[in-house]
Amino acid sequence: MKNDARTEGGVKQGAAGVEAGPAKAAGPCRRLVPVILAGGSGTRLWPMSREQFPKQLIGVVGRDSLLQATVSRLKGFAGNFKVDGEPIIVCGEEHRFTTEEQTREAGVDARIIVEPARRDTAPALTLAALAAVRDGEDAIMVAMPADHSIADIPALHRAIAIAAEHAERGVIATLGIPPTRPDTGFGYIRLGAALDDGAHEIDRFVEKPAAELATQYVAAGTYWWNSGIFVVRASVWLAALQKLNADMHAACSAAAQEGEADGKFFRPQAAQFGRAPSDSIDYAVMEHIGTPTKPCDGVVVPLVAGWSDLGSWDAVWDAMDKDESGNVASGRVVFEGATSSYARSEGGRLVACVGTTNVIVVETDDAVLVADRSRVQDIKGLVARIREQHAPEADTHRKVRRPWGFYDSIEHGERFQVKRIVVSPGSKLSLQMHHHRAEHWIVVCGTALVTRGEEQFLLSENESTFIPLGVRHRLENPGKVPLEIIEVQSGSYLGEDDIVRFDDTYGRS
């Protein structure tokens, strides 16, 4: 890594922590570092969750987003371990600004690692492990997916405290969910010998089973769901990965060593990271526990805390409070003679369900989903078909978030488009120009500082200006309240890729 790296104890140090070389096995560690894996897309929760704004950034079961709930999950942790106040978040390029904004709103100052490409959870955790070892310490990572829901936080803390005691002595610990029903959507962990603290040795990991086999697992009482939450010392993870997948270890180490800080973000070197094989934590390491090639011992700690991976709309329905008829409503929803249904109005329109049973209805500004609760796993295939049609609804919402605020495409037609643009106080768009469109700006609320060619001037409410095709321009909000404008675009091509940037605060090309 650039930025005045130094070497201490055989481990290369830098501004973002350790980036290369084998981690030094330290003595007993009492420091927990939350690691949030936030690189998923969550297509099964379409149309709320989309490629450019996935489910971890959405308030699926509450006011806060799932990411915000996750980064705050270890607050108030009491016990023999001290929780690091700066969690490590690993996310994708397209989500980095929203991730930073949401963590800041949650009152958390996080270290954010931006993956150059998606390589699944094992390389992501490896980048976090390299950053978690610093100044000769060997922190215990509490790796959590960013898109799960947990109702009983004290119960989670108790389970993590037990897992951390095992992790401290060099064991990989995971949290297992005693199953409440046969479920083909989860991987399972077969329990080994029972331990004094309620944990079990891991006999082996089992892939998602067919329905009949899932029923047998639950009846046997010796299989728990795999929660995807892992507690492990950074050096133990790195050593296990180096033994089982040396190529992934080498690629991630080189990517971190040659990476660079970018404001509040750390960017691993793209070409080196691209050499890392794509694999999950389970496949890369955990499924080897209990086999002759096992890299270390593993234990599973029971978690009974109202956990849900929110992997489908049916899971969302199951995780939420219901009325006397088993219905769940979110937003402007009315039920009449309905049972066991979930309805959500996100775009503000009234959703009325009459006589429905086991139905999912989700309304957004630009799409409506109606599905049988027993078929919600098919939504992933539906989204793939929508993407094959090159429809924008597969990847983006009508309301698109940007590091400076957001815009909402409220109307479009032949050679014109109307957007509502909101710029946060003190923020500004890039200095840019367009080859194929001109723009009219009307200020609705706040004050706009406009750059147009060689001119620069202020616009107040109810004032407007015209940006001709091919002219450099910039919109800024110099005030302390959000700036809201209506933009009317006209021209032969109105795509977002018709932007030539000359200067950008946020480092976009």
Question: pTM score, two decimals?
Answer: 0.85
Q: Which residues contact 470 (CB under 8 A, 6 or more apart)?
A: 433, 434, 435
Q: Residue 282 in contact with residue 205, Cβ under 8 Å?
A: yes
d(CA 318, CA 471): 54
The model's pLDDT over 249-275, given as tens digits with 9 standing for 90+, comes to 999 999 999 999 988 899 999 999 999
Q: What is the DSSP letter of 104?
A: H
Instruction: Show the domains of the chain with their CATH numbers.
Output: 29-308 (3.90.550.10), 313-388 (no CATH), 399-503 (2.60.120.10)
d(CA 364, CA 267): 34
d(CA 265, CA 98): 12
For the record, the structure tokens of 124 come out as 């992501």
Lowest mean pLDDT among 25-29, 56-60, 319-323, 358-362: 25-29
Q: Which residues contact 196 (CB under 8 A, 6 or more apart)?
A: none
d(CA 456, CA 431): 12
Integer-rounded Cα Rg, in Å, for the chain is: 25
The predicted pLDDT at position 295 comes to 82
For the record, the structure tokens of 40 come out as 């998923």
The predicted pLDDT at position 58 comes to 92
Residue 28, Cβ density class (10 Å: 0-12 exposed, 13-18 middle, ≥19 buried): exposed
Is the pLDDT reported for residue 222 higher than 70?
A: yes
Helix axes 246-257, 121-132, angle to 10 degrees: 50
The model's pLDDT over 150-207, given as tens digits with 9 standing for 90+, comes to 999 999 999 999 999 999 999 999 999 999 999 888 899 999 999 999 999 999 998 8
Is the pLDDT reported for residue 16 higher than 80?
A: no
d(CA 290, CA 431): 57
pLDDT band at 78 (very low <50, low <70, confident <90, very high): confident
Closest listed residue to residue 341, CA positions, set 369, 367, 361: 361
Closest listed residue to residue 437, CA positions, set 494, 488, 486, 497: 494
Closest listed residue to residue 402, CA positions, set 114, 96, 133: 96
Query: C-alpha 122: how far from its chain's center?
Result: 15
